[in-house]
Structure 1
């Protein structure tokens, strides 16, 4: 596949994945406050859209990095730490959605705002690292 098409597919998948993580965080927050109808919608979106987008992000990201021979660069490894953290957050939130779908009660917390800040901060740093390749 042509490099520019591969990179474009990667960026598109990243946008869908990050949007899906924000939707997940919102679904978990509203579900913990009792909005159970939202949980089902968010959970289906996650399974059908966000999860496949995450898999495309990983696949195309590995191919882009390989084609650029960037695996020895420190900026890529710093970026990968954040991508692993976002993927892990996706897994944690998927588990929370699953528990909410089963009718379990989660303690509504103020950490929803912190999750949104962590996502936005991680994405910002990832973008800076990918564009500037500082080290």
Structure 2
């Protein structure tokens, strides 16, 4: 029962983390520095997204890591190769969230500069997530 509960919490935390990361990706991709009537609406959206990232997406990422590492230690998964590849992808997704959070902060500070490689944020998130799911379900090695 405890395993099922932890697995459910892990998957729910992953969904919140990746959903938030994808939303930030799409926001950064589509936002442009606004002036005039649209500027206050853009700033409100940016503020709401920064709060969501701070209070939901980032804690979900931390919870995902804590539960995932607990499960890996408890069930001895570190002896298997697939977990190390999964951890590599998860580290990449964690770094991407850090890059996205920094880009949101720069936008809030008034930077009009487009974040580097912003076109790749969403596809990288989707591909890395698919790879992780494949590794978890198939456990190829």
TM-score where L is the length of structure 2 = 0.87
Aligned twin of 1:115:
121
Aligned twin of 1:89:
96
- Within 2, Cα distance between the matches of 1:31 and 1:43? 14
Point out the structure with max Rg over C-alpha: 2
| Deviation by residue 1:71-103 (Cα, 9 ceiling, x = unmatched) | 121100000000000000000110000011111
Asked if 1:56 is matched to 2:63, the reply is yes
SS state at 2:112 partner: coil
Tell whether the 8 Å contact from 2:103 to 2:115 is kept in structure 1 after alignment.
no
Q: Unpaired segments of 5 or more residues in structure 2?
A: 35-41
Q: Unpaired segments of 5 or more residues in structure 1?
A: none
Asked if 1:6 is matched to 2:13, the reply is no
Aligned twin of 2:74:
67
- Within 1, Cα distance between the matches of 2:71 and 2:33? 41
- Within 2, Cα distance between the matches of 1:60 and 1:52? 12
What is the CA-CA distance between 1:39 and the residue it aligns to? 1.4
| Deviation by residue 1:34-80 (Cα, 9 ceiling, x = unmatched) | 43332111111101100110010000000111122001211000000
TM-score where L is the length of structure 1 = 0.91
- Within 2, Cα distance between the matches of 1:114 and 1:60? 28
CA RMSD of aligned residues (A): 1.7
Q: How many residues align?
A: 134
- Mean Cα displacement is larger for which, 59-68 or 80-89? 59-68
- Mean Cα displacement is larger for which, 38-47 or 21-30? 21-30
